[in-house]
Amino acid sequence: QAVSATISELYVFIKVEGVALRLPVLLKAFVLGILATLAASAIPALEAAGIPAAVAVRRSSLEMRASKFAPWLAVTGIICLALALLVYSNSTSFLGGLIVALFVGLAAIFFTPIITIGLTAITAPAAQKHAGQAGLLATHSIRAALSRTSVAIAALMLALAMVLSMRLMISSFRNTINAWVSQALQGDVYLSPLGFDTAKWSAVMTPAFRGKPIYLVQVSPEVLVDRSNFAFTRGTGKEHWPKLRAGEVIISENFALRFGKGVGDTLLLSGLAGPQSFKIAAIILDYSLDQGQVMMSHETYARYFGLPRITNMALYLTPGVDASDYVVALRRAVAGKFEVEVKSHRELRAEVLRIFDQSFAVTQVMQVLAGIVAVIGIISAVMSLLVERTRELGILRAVGMTLAQMRRMIFLESGLMGVFAGLIALPAGTVLALVLIYVINLRTFGWTIPFTLEAGAYVQTFLIAFLAALVAAIYPMHRLKQIPIAGAIREE
């Protein structure tokens, strides 16, 4: 529903009655799930087959190897970052952007074990001071079981980094759109034909460039020079808008990137009398069309492409006139006579931001799913540790550790894993956000979006990490009381 609503708002109206479950799609998902599971178990299975029986019963040997390989994994992470820079420098495609993001994510994963070792050493004194021996045991247990805890921390970290990167990208994009709307919508009242939203470019897509229809926008430069505040890649509106009177054109940034055009180049467009060349006067930062657009004056359009059609109009009211009252009066005046939609500046601005928020509403579902997967990963790791440490926990109970102290230890273990994941996710998510904004988004839509930091996003990410880990500790803590002391310390 969220996706269909976005398509209806931006392109053409569609109505989804329900979800169609197709057998080929279900089979494909089933097969991919099986293949992914087999691929994930291949390396552990081969390793298990080559381990001698005497070594297999000692988990310490595995953890010693995990700690030993942590620095080498960090080196692998550095290599991944180098590969990301290499791909970024030598590829301008969308696929190249995805590969850059993949290498950044892998680098964050490979850095997790060495960072976990460092964080356990840093937090151990504070944990012992505030939680006693239970706190010290919690930090030591995380490091002692690094092969499991680092995987769980990395899973939670990656999920949180993805959520944070999306949040930062969306907030940066929204701030940019908000600023652009303030620059582009300088009028007090706007008029457009009813139904214009779904067919607004049918009359102005006739001119073609390189065999593709383009969006050709007719503007009034004499109005824009005083009434607009558009941003350009270079220069100002007062410098560039008058050039349209001389027959030059202004192109949007994404059009320039899409077709490889720059200031001073020429566009060859198919006019009524054949191909016509137009000099590019400037490149404007515009976010209204993802395909890009070419702007020219009404006079230039009429000269080469026929009489222009007015598709929208901005009215500038006399100072002191209330825009809301004027809109009500104008709607009453055109009702039943003209199929015209009348909106105030405030209404149009709110509509633009509403459509923007709706376009990214589906990402909220993705964020929730990522969080659920991360919580399941933490629960699995803590439960696995609980099973493997049954004898150790039994001995601790036998020498006097109370059930409350043991629960506190498990609670601290899980909480610290969440804290570690959150701390690693903050820089990882920031780097991924930069990749989304300056690599993937720029190569997909051609829009330059200034990166803006949002303190709330970082605080929320860290709190989610901590709370998710605490929630994941509830079930393992409940299982502690079901472990019999005598059975736990018995050896076969």
* Distance separating alpha carbons of residues 257 and 445, to the nearest angstrom: 9
- pTM beyond 0.75, yes or no: yes
Least confident of 92-96, 192-196, 448-452: 192-196
**Whether the predicted pLDDT of 173 surpasses 80:** yes
Half-sphere exposure in the Cβ direction for 57 (13 Å, CA)? 4
What are the tokens at 173? 């994009």
Mean per-residue pLDDT, 59-88? 81
Percent of the chain scoring above 90 in pLDDT: 17
The residue whose two tokens read 């301008």 is 92
**Whether the predicted pLDDT of 7 surpasses 70:** no
**Whether the predicted pLDDT of 43 surpasses 50:** yes
Q: Can you give the residue ranges of every domain in the chain?
A: 1-50, 59-182+357-489, 201-311
User: Rounded to a whole number, what is the largest CA-CA distance in the chain?
Assistant: 97
- Other residues' Cβ atoms within 10 Å of the Cβ of residue 131: 18
Half-sphere exposure in the Cβ direction for 362 (13 Å, CA)? 9
Least confident of 297-301, 410-414, 416-420: 410-414
3-state SS assignment for residue 30: helix
Q: For the segment 303-344, what is each residue's pLDDT rounded down to a tens digit?
A: 888 876 777 788 888 888 888 889 899 888 888 787 788 888
Least confident of 6-10, 106-110, 111-115, 400-404: 6-10
Q: State the amino acid at position 125 in one-letter form.
A: P
Provide the strand spans (E) within 345-454: none
* Distance separating alpha carbons of residues 154 and 111, to the nearest angstrom: 9
Mean per-residue pLDDT, 412-439? 91
* Distance separating alpha carbons of residues 256 and 265, to the nearest angstrom: 10
Residue 363: per-residue pLDDT: 74
Q: In sequence order, which residues have a C-beta less than 8 Å from that of residue 68 and are 6 or more positions away?
A: none
Residue 197: per-residue pLDDT: 47
145, 113 Cβ separation under 8 angstroms: no
349, 188 Cβ separation under 8 angstroms: no
Q: For the segment 197-244, what is each residue's pLDDT rounded down to a tens digit?
A: 433 333 344 555 666 677 888 888 888 888 878 889 898 888 999 999
Angle (CA) 74-79-82 rounded to 5° is: 130
Q: For the segment 267-301, what is each residue's pLDDT rounded down to a tens digit?
A: 888 878 888 899 999 999 888 777 788 999 988 98
Q: For the segment 81-98, what is each residue's pLDDT rounded down to a tens digit?
A: 999 999 998 887 888 888
257, 446 Cβ separation under 8 angstroms: yes
